[in-house]
Structure 1
Amino acid sequence: MKYQIIPVTPFQQNCSVIWCEKTKLAAVVDPGGDIDRIVTEVEKLGLTLEKILLTHGHIDHVGGAKMLSNQLNIDIVGPHSADKFWFDNLAKQSQNFGFPHIDPFEPTQYLNEGDKVTIGEQTLSVLHCPGHTPGHIVFHSAESHLAWVGDVLFRSSIGRTDFPQSDHKQLIHSITQKLWLLGDKVSFIPGHGPMSTFEEERQHNPFVADQLLG
């Protein structure tokens, strides 16, 4: 599986275009905004977008999803339905975070733990990883040893848990009991900032390093 990271919105959110090299079919993960930039990059790469994948319902991750869906007539897939209240609240999110007004919308399909998502001939596994938001999910490519973790985990940090229905204990459980089980060699693309590996974070992350949590 191939990917290209495109930072979008004033929050520099890591939107990703991911694709099957054989079929050139692609998905875009968390198109928070700057839709023209995303479409231009997809065209430059010679790809055909077939779906939009969302890790959670915060506006910097979903703000451009409906516009892109309408423009290209493609489905919006994910996150888990426990994040529905964030989609219902998009107009208020727009105000609170200084984004252009976004009307509420609902994804074409919500996802659950254990679901599979195909992109061409490639398959992503879905993990439900609540904590940052109750419906947050992670996409994992076992073949490529890659994971798109949204705002669950960052290089040297973890997701915020001061939002409505966030839960710090759940977040730590999601990281240590779900992400770590995918293997140390997995590289991950977070919602913001540089990539890292689970091995690196288990050794050095000041919030979830093995030596801190026992």
Structure 2
Amino acid sequence: MKYQIIPVTPFQQNCSVIWCKDTLQAAIVDPGGDIDRITTEVEKLGLTLVKILLTHGHIDHVGGAQALAEQQNIPIVGPHIDDSFWLENLPGQSKNFGFPEVGAFTPNQYLNDGDTVELGNQKLQVVHCPGHTPGHVVFYSASSKTAWVGDVLFRSSIGRTDFPQSNHQDLINSITKKLWPLGNETQFIPGHGPMSTFSEERQHNPFVADQLLG
């Protein structure tokens, strides 16, 4: 699986173009906004967009999804249905976070833990990781040992749990019981900030390092 990160929105959210190098079929992970920038990059890379993948329902991750889906005539896939209330409240999120108004929408497909998303000859494993939001999912490529983790985990930090239906212990469990088993060598692209590896975070992350959690 190949990828390119495109920071979008005033929150500098890490939107990713991901694609199968054999078929050049591509997906956009978390198009929070700036869809003209996203589509320009897709055209430069010579890719064919076939779907949009959402990790969770916060506006900086989904704000451009509906407009991009309509423009490209492609489906929106994810997150887990437990984040439907966030998608239904997108107009409210727009006001609360100072984003251009975005209407509520329903994805073409909600995802469950253990589902597989196909992209050309590549497959992504879906891992349900509640905590930051109840319906947060992570996309994992075994072939490239890469995970798109949204706002579950960051380099030297973890996701916030002060939102409605967030849960700190659920987040810790998601990281240690769902992500770590994917392998220390796994590199991850967080929703914001630089990439890291699970090994690095298990050693040095001040919230979930192994020595802190026993």
Taking structure 1 as the reference length, what is the TM-score of the superposition?
1.00
Task: Encode CA deviations 1:155-185: one digit per residue, 9 max, x unaligned.
Answer: 0000000000000000000000010000000
Structure 1 residue ranges without an equivalent (≥5): none
1:121: which partner in 2?
Answer: 121
Partner of 2:87 in structure 1?
A: 87
Aligned to 1:170, the other structure's residue is in SS state: helix
- CA-CA distance at 1:20 after TM superposition: 0.2
Instruction: Report the number of matched residues.
Output: 214
Superposed, which structure 2 residues align to 1:134-213 within 5 Å?
A: 134-213=134-213
**2: CA distance, partners of 1:182 / 1:103:** 36
Q: Which residue of 1 aligns with 2:11?
A: 11
Q: Distance in 2 between matches of 1:16 and 1:24?
A: 15
Find the counterpart in structure 2 of residue 59 from structure 1. 59
Q: Give the letter aligned to residue 4 of structure 1.
A: Q
Matched, 1:46 2:46: yes
SS at match of 2:61: helix
> Percent of aligned pairs with the same residue?
76
Q: Distance in 2 between matches of 1:192 and 1:157?
A: 11
Q: Distance in 2 between matches of 1:206 and 1:53?
A: 30
Amino acid in structure 2 at the alignment position of 1:48: T
1-structure distance, mates of 2:10, 2:145: 29
1:172 aligned counterpart, secondary structure: helix
CA distance in 2, matches of 1:59, 1:143: 30
Unaligned runs of 5+ in 2: none
Match of 1:23 in 2: 23
TM-score (norm: length of structure 2): 1.00
Partner of 1:106: 106
In the alignment, the residues of structure 1 paired with residue 73 and residue 83 of structure 2 have an alpha-carbon distance, to the nearest angstrom, of 23
Q: What are the Cα deviations for residues 7-57 of structure 1, in whole angstroms up to 9, with x where unaligned?
A: 000000000000000000000000000000000000000000000000000
Q: Which residue of 2 aligns with 1:77?
A: 77
Please, what is the CA RMSD of the aligned residues?
0.2
Q: 1:155 corresponds to which letter in structure 2?
A: R
What is the identity, as a one-letter code, of the residue corresponding to 2:133? T
Deviating above 2 A after TM superposition, structure 1's stretches of 4 or more consecutive aligned residues are none
